[in-house]
Amino acid sequence: MTTPVARGPSAPDRAARDRPAVPRAVAIVLSLVAGAGAFMLFLQFGASDGLDFIDVLRSVLILISTWWLAWGAVQGLLGLTTHAAPPLRKLDGPLTERCVVIVPVYNEDPVTTFSRIAAMDESLQATGQGHLFHFAILSDSRNDAIAARERLWFLRLIEDRKAEGRMFYRRRTDNKGKKAGNVEDFIMKSGGAYDLALILDADSLMEGATIVEMARRMQAEPDIGLLQTLPVVTRAETRFGRAMQFSAAFHSPVFARGLAMMQGRTGPFWGHNAIVRVRAFAESCGLPELRGKPPFGGHIMSHDYVEAALLARAGWRVRLDDDLGGSFEEGPENLVDHAKRDRRWCQGNLQHVRLLNAPGLKPWSRFVFFQGIMAYISPLFWIGFMLASIAAPFYAPPPDYFPEPYWPFPIFPQAETSKAIGLAIGVFGLLILPKFAVALHAAMSGRAKQFGGALRAFASMMAELLFSSLAAPVLLAYQTRSVFQVFMGRDGGWPTNNRGDARLSVGEAFAASHWIVSTGLLGLAITWYLAPGLVVWMLPVLVPMMLAPVIISWSSRPARSGLFATPTDLNEAPVMSRQREILGVWESEMIAMKDVSILLEATRASA
């Protein structure tokens, strides 16, 4: 299940993937048509009692918001109507290019992280090509105690895998540029020993066969500068984590295929689980330090998008091969941890405003930057629309029941309620119809069997849709706050990922979201006072905000139901099973070492 698909695409498929003009045109036209349709419909609705400035403003806001929703929906449509087409693979013999697997760490648990490395190395050795792959652990840890444990467990890793000369560990004293700076420093100092570099995160896990297949594709086509896989989220345990894991496994492959069709040779880089050509990276991807202070100045935070754009600018192909399996990662287990990570991404994406006019970039690379910016500022348009709707009654002209002189009978304004309802249904449809289309396609193609069957997959999809509808206003609030913090010049830094117990009590959740509750209560009061007719329409947004602590706490609890099954749950990948075994052995050794340490301390005390 997790080994790569070893099939070559047909020539027309390859041509379609390398000439994305048609998919791009389709996506742009359809999304603009949807936005324009929403604009005209709402303009007619607003004009029913006389057109004013607020009506025009609301129509423009609904145009932008609907266009953005339609853009995502069309991406899913493209994914459903196309097939995976990896680069042409001609290499069937042994590999000759050397590859280093780079594992950056930052205040991580070394036992868990190094057990992943041990499992990947074992999987690589089983392919018969393991001698061509080295591992480089690049530490940026600021905690000296964690760094000491890293050195200790690195020696244990070397001993366990008999990997002296194949595995290396380095801790920087100055973590300038964070992860991107660490990788760049390694490439510049040690990259000359390798042809390829597989860049991972501390929570990444990949099958050896997948890594070898990626190296084969890179060696077969020397003009590829970067090859990105689609990582599968695994090992989630909480309700929030399980819902996100199911959504990623069920929907992401379809949307990723649509993305790959549109991006073509100017593909994405998500910062991990991707292989790069060392020479291309060294020549093209030196990142500048932007003038000024963070959040808009300083080191580039969302470096991956920028590195992909720089590779494309230099003429290298950047590809997303959505047919590759055996690529895994882990995700946040509660809403608060997700919001913390999203805060960093928000700052990094908004920082790209400074790069939109960078010289020599491909037009599509600039558009990718714009998309990343829109992903975070789009909530502002929805909020602006809601605020303008609340204020609309104060700007509406008084009704004129006798517009015709000398006509004795009143003329009442034409009711436009049906148009407003139709627009609401259309906007909601852009959110849910792609998911239903994916579920239908999965049932018809047989892919739903990997999720426990069509009925179980559909039930999981409905449960995830319900949960995401409840969580969306909370996430919207966090995201909006992040945008305002960046605009106000607040630097969010680079917080350490929380990979421990994700459970949050209601009190802890309230401490992290009390301002969301207050905002929801204030919004309800203002709407009730100024525009009582909108209260019913605002409740789906305001009620989840007022219940944010309950939603956050409840979703951080361990999942008990049989929903949200994914392929890795029903058939765990070999590298995942092996990593679990290695981690169990190492944790047992840790317990034994602690027991011996306690016994020695007790002996010294009694003496």
Q: How many CA atoms lie within 13 A of 157 on its CB side?
A: 29
Query: What are the DSSP calls for 578-600, one per residue?
Result: HHHHHHHHHHHHHHHHHHHHHHH
3-state secondary structure of 271: coil
Cα–Cα dist 176/179, whole Å: 9
Residues 6+ apart with CB under 8 A from 404: 411
Check whether 46 has a pLDDT greater than 90: no
What local confidence, expressed as pLDDT, does residue 521 receive?
A: 97
220 lies in a domain? Answer: yes
Residue with tokens 């609890």: 557
Let me know: does 203 contact 330? Beta carbons within 8 Å: yes
Cβ neighbours, 10 Å, residue 94: 9
213 lies in a domain? Answer: yes
For residue 110, give Cα distances in angstroms to 117, 199, 202, 341, 588.
10, 18, 9, 21, 15
Helix/strand/coil percent split, the chain, to 5 = 65, 10, 30
What are 295-352's pLDDT values in tens digits?
999 999 999 999 999 999 999 999 999 889 999 999 999 999 999 999 999 999 999 9
What local confidence, expressed as pLDDT, does residue 207 receive?
A: 98
* Residue 22 CB-density burial (10 A; 0-12 exposed, 13-18 middle, 19+ buried): exposed
Sheet holding 232-233, edge to edge: 205-206, 327-329, 232-233
Structure tokens at 526: 């203002």
Which carries the bigger pLDDT value, residue 46 or residue 295?
295
The pairing of strands 205-206 and 327-329 is antiparallel
Residues 6+ apart with CB under 8 A from 181: 175, 287, 299
What local confidence, expressed as pLDDT, does residue 174 receive?
A: 86
Lowest mean pLDDT of 152-161, 253-262, 287-296, 423-432, name the range: 423-432
Structure tokens at 256: 């990723």
199 lies in a domain? Answer: yes
What are 530-557's pLDDT values in tens digits?
888 888 889 999 999 999 999 999 999 9
What local confidence, expressed as pLDDT, does residue 94 receive?
A: 82
Beta-ladder partners of 198: 101, 275
DSSP letter at 355 equals G
441 lies in a domain? Answer: no
Q: Pick from 338, 198, 353, 208: which is nearest to 271 by CA?
A: 198
232 lies in a domain? Answer: yes
Across the chain, what does the average pLDDT equal? 88
Task: Read off the pLDDT of each residue in 12-23 and give the average, rounded to a whole number.
Answer: 65
473 lies in a domain? Answer: no
What local confidence, expressed as pLDDT, does residue 3 receive?
A: 42
Q: What is the dihedral of CA 343, 349, 353, 355, to 10 degrees?
A: 140
pLDDT band at 268 (very low <50, low <70, confident <90, very high): very high
Residue 184's CATH number:
3.90.550.10
Q: How many domains does the chain have?
A: 1
For residue 574, give Cα distances in angstroms to 209, 273, 581.
11, 18, 11
Task: Read off the pLDDT of each residue in 224-248 and give the average, rounded to a whole number.
Answer: 96
Q: Pick from 354, 361, 353: which is nearest to 377 by CA?
A: 353
224 lies in a domain? Answer: yes
- Residue ranges making up the domain that contains 264: 99-236+259-329
Cα–Cα dist 157/118, whole Å: 7
Cα–Cα dist 321/227, whole Å: 7
Check whether 204 has a pLDDT greater than 80: yes
What letter represents residue 454's amino acid? A
For residue 198, give Cα distances in angstroms to 103, 137, 281.
9, 12, 12
Q: Pick from 308, 327, 154: which is nearest to 231 by CA?
A: 327
291 lies in a domain? Answer: yes
Q: Pick from 133, 105, 272, 281: which is nearest to 209 by CA?
A: 133
Structure tokens at 367: 């558009």
Residues 6+ apart with CB under 8 A from 213: 3, 4, 6, 324
pLDDT band at 430 (very low <50, low <70, confident <90, very high): confident
Beta-ladder partners of 170: 138
Check whether 419 has a pLDDT greater than 70: no
What local confidence, expressed as pLDDT, does residue 86 receive?
A: 61
What local confidence, expressed as pLDDT, does residue 14 receive?
A: 47
* Residue 458 CB-density burial (10 A; 0-12 exposed, 13-18 middle, 19+ buried): middle
Cα–Cα dist 84/90, whole Å: 17
DSSP letter at 404 equals S
Geometric angle at alpha carbon 591, from 586 and 597, rounded to 5°? 125
What local confidence, expressed as pLDDT, does residue 6 receive?
A: 37
- Rounded to the nearest 10 degrees, what angle do helices 239-263 and 454-487 cross at? 80
Q: Pick from 314, 376, 366: which is nearest to 339 by CA?
A: 376
Cα–Cα dist 136/323, whole Å: 27
The pairing of strands 232-233 and 99-105 is unpaired
What local confidence, expressed as pLDDT, does residue 398 receive?
A: 58
Cβ neighbours, 10 Å, residue 588: 10
Residues 6+ apart with CB under 8 A from 334: 238, 240, 241, 502, 503, 504, 552, 555, 556
| Segments in 352-453 forming alpha helices (H) | 363-395, 417-445
